[in-house]
Structure 1
């Protein structure tokens, strides 16, 4: 009985630690007051409505969506062939290549952002938009390679070899045999990359500029001037969106098999 009670206490504390901040943000977003506070000062949905009325939020949301979608697609275009090559051929130094590819998620984001600013943006004079796009692509590339590689390793090689023996070219066999059988891993990599890119803060903080900011950076800038619960409302909406995407991916793709 004591062991069971201790288990439930530990579980309750863990859930409180994980879910508690999210519940506080929701409560603060529902406040009827004019300042961000907890406990809420009454109940109102006005701050959720205001989120959609702030021009900068709409613009930065579009920027974040563009970077998350097309940055992840670009990472997949690079990561899928790389994963296929390392899975099907004996590539010299394959483990070193995997380590280099994984470096954007191993190295702290603030260092990656500072390095890109100092050694890419300033010396070359590249614009903020291309720099952000390259940075977000590099940040999600490790997830593309890792997740797709796991799917490649679980795919039977003899299926592809049978297609080659029947006259398919290597490229045709890849399109007709390999790609359809790893589509679950590709979709899982896309979802993981999308969520990672959309919620990215440290790198975007260094590379954002006037007229072009991602949504998380715009939220930080908004809070420097306004201290109302609209940021809490937007945070609650983004958290709900991320949770919905992950739950949908788990239900339809078995997301936990790939990550």
Structure 2
């Protein structure tokens, strides 16, 4: 039992280090985006929402965001029933080429 506990502690330590390492750049950029200066710096010179106001005023970015939101909504509406039905079929019935179909359905997770 002592060996499995030490393995668990090591595993959680590695997972924590990986999550901090992967999250740190995003947290730094997010913090730097609130700067009040003309150049984005970290730590911020002052706190301001100026950059977010400028982004919201850019019509091209707003249109791109709305288009992306529309595409994501349509994809979600299609993917949920298709994925649910495929999962039920693979779990309930003996399907020919079951492993191949499972691999095909899980491919997006590898990207």
- Structure 1 unaligned blocks of 5 or more: 1-6, 109-259
Distance, in Å, in 2 between the alignment partners of 1:18 and 1:79 is 29
Counterpart check, 1:78 vs 2:73: no
- Any idea what SS the aligned residue of 1:99 has? helix
Equivalenced residue count is 98
Distance, in Å, in 1 between the alignment partners of 2:69 and 2:101 is 29
Post-superposition offset of 1:51: 2.1
Post-superposition offset of 1:55: 0.9
Counterpart check, 1:17 vs 2:21: yes
Partner residue, 2:50: 46
Post-superposition offset of 1:94: 0.9
Partner residue, 2:64: 60
Partner residue, 1:69: 73
Counterpart check, 1:95 vs 2:106: no
CA RMSD of aligned residues (A): 2.5
Cα deviations by residue, 1:147-177 (Å, 9 ceiling, x for unpaired): xxxxxxxxxxxxxxxxxxxxxxxxxxxxxxx
Which consecutive segments of 4 or more residues in structure 1 shift more than 4 A? none
Relative contact order (C-alpha < 8 Å, sep 6+): which is higher?
Answer: 1
Post-superposition offset of 1:63: 1.3
Report the TM-score, using the length of structure 1 for normalisation.
0.34
Report the TM-score, using the length of structure 2 for normalisation.
0.70
Distance, in Å, in 2 between the alignment partners of 1:26 and 1:103 is 31
- Any idea what SS the aligned residue of 1:20 has? helix
| 1:88/1:57 CA distance change after superposition, 3 Å | same
- Structure 2 unaligned blocks of 5 or more: 1-9
| 1:73/1:27 CA distance change after superposition, 3 Å | same
